[in-house]
Amino acid sequence: MQPFISNSPHRLAAALVLGAALLSPGCKRDQKVQVQPTIEEEDTPRLASAVPMNVPKLAPQLVSGFYPIENNSWRWTGKQFSVLLRPPTAAAQRGAVLSLEFSVPDPVIQTLHAVTLKASVEGTALPPETYTKSGAYTFKREIPASAISGESVRIDFALDKAMPPAGAERRELGVVAVSVSLGPK
């Protein structure tokens, strides 16, 4: 009986082809099995408690009033905008803290002179704040426990005024949102 590899060019070629097939990245023999999510997991993804505006996969939590991502980091808002967030653990007993990181661009102040930002959580109004200078801000408010129930919280923001569409700009522009979150008290 002859050994597997011999002087026969056909046997040598066959051995090389077999070896290459077994070592190729396409070989499925050693691949790990990926577990597919169940239908329930696909239908009800878990909400995030913080939504940076530059994360496209979290965009479904931006319910209304947000424009597409710009400069891979922020989004313009309209005069009214809403977001859906997951409350922190025990927020229904302790309450939570809402934080909206945003900026008021200079053209907004030059045109409108001031803007007042209001927010409500599930219908509970939070104290408003007026901005008279351009710059970066954090709108931070404590949310009472009575305003939080369930696995999601809707936060509605409203500006008293926004820049109307003008020239080539077809959008109503409010403020530049960077992130929004709900944290523990």
Q: What are the residue ranges spanned by the domains of the chain?
A: 47-184
CATH class as words, domain 47-184: mainly beta
Q: If pLDDT is split at 50, 70 and 90, which confidence band does 35 have?
A: low
* Angstrom distance (rounded) from CA 158 to CA 91: 24
Distance CA 104, CA 54 (A): 18
Q: 136 near 108, Cβ under 8 Å?
A: no
85-138: per-residue pLDDT in tens?
A: 999 999 999 999 999 999 999 999 999 999 999 999 988 999 999 999 999 999
- Which of the four pLDDT bands, split at 50, 70 and 90, describes residue 182? very high
**27-31, 70-74, 103-107, 168-172: lowest mean pLDDT where?**
27-31
Do the Cβ atoms of 66 and 177 come closer than 8 Å?
Answer: yes
- Say if CB 54 and CB 74 are below 8 A apart: yes
